[in-house]
Amino acid sequence: MRSLNWEIPYTEYLTSEIPAEYLPLIEEAKKQAMNAYAVYSNFHVGAALLLENGKIIGGNNQENSAYPSGLCAERTAVFYANSQYPDVAVKTIAIAAYTNGEYLKDPITPCGGCRQVLLETETRYGKNMKVILYGTDKIYVLDNVRQLLPFSFDKERL
C-alpha cells in the first residue's frame, strides 16, 4: 500500500489584482446571478462563457418547486452555447454567486454535476476551458476543467 496526493494547481488573485481580460466575463457572470430564478434557496448563481468566436453567453440557475427539475447556471449556459454554436469551443467560464444581499466573499465552485458537464464540453472540443471562480475577496483561476474533477469519468473510460 502507498499513500498518494493529488495536487490541483490554480492561481489566486485578490480582487485588486484581477487581470483586465477577465473583468468582462466576471461582470457578465455577476449580472447573470442577479437574474437567476432562485425563489426557494435565495442562492443566485451566474455563469458566463467566452466562446472561441468571441461571443459571451450567460446563464443562471433556474429553480423549480419540484427541486430536481431546476437547472444550475453553468449547465444553463453550456447547453445554450452548445445548441446555438455546436461547432464553437468554450474558451473560458466565469462563475459568481449572490445571496443574502451580497456576492460571496470566497469563490463559488460548480457542483459535481456541472463539473462533469464542463468536462464533457472540454473533451468534446479537445481544448482546455479556463475556469474563473469569483468571490469579492479573491478569485481562483484554473487552466482547465479537469483540475476541478480529479479522477474524472469521460468517454475514454467507456
Reported residue count of the chain is 158
CB-based contact 36:61 (threshold 8 Å) = yes
Half-sphere exposure of 85 (CA within 13 A, CB side): 18
Residue 120 annotated in active site: no
Helix axes 73-84, 112-125, angle to 10 degrees: 20
The catalytic residue among 74, 102, 120, 122 is 74
Cβ–Cβ contacts within 10 Å for residue 85, how many?
Answer: 16
Cβ–Cβ contacts within 10 Å for residue 116, how many?
Answer: 18
Q: Pick from 110, 91, 95, 96: which is nearest to 50 by CA?
A: 91
Active-site positions read 74
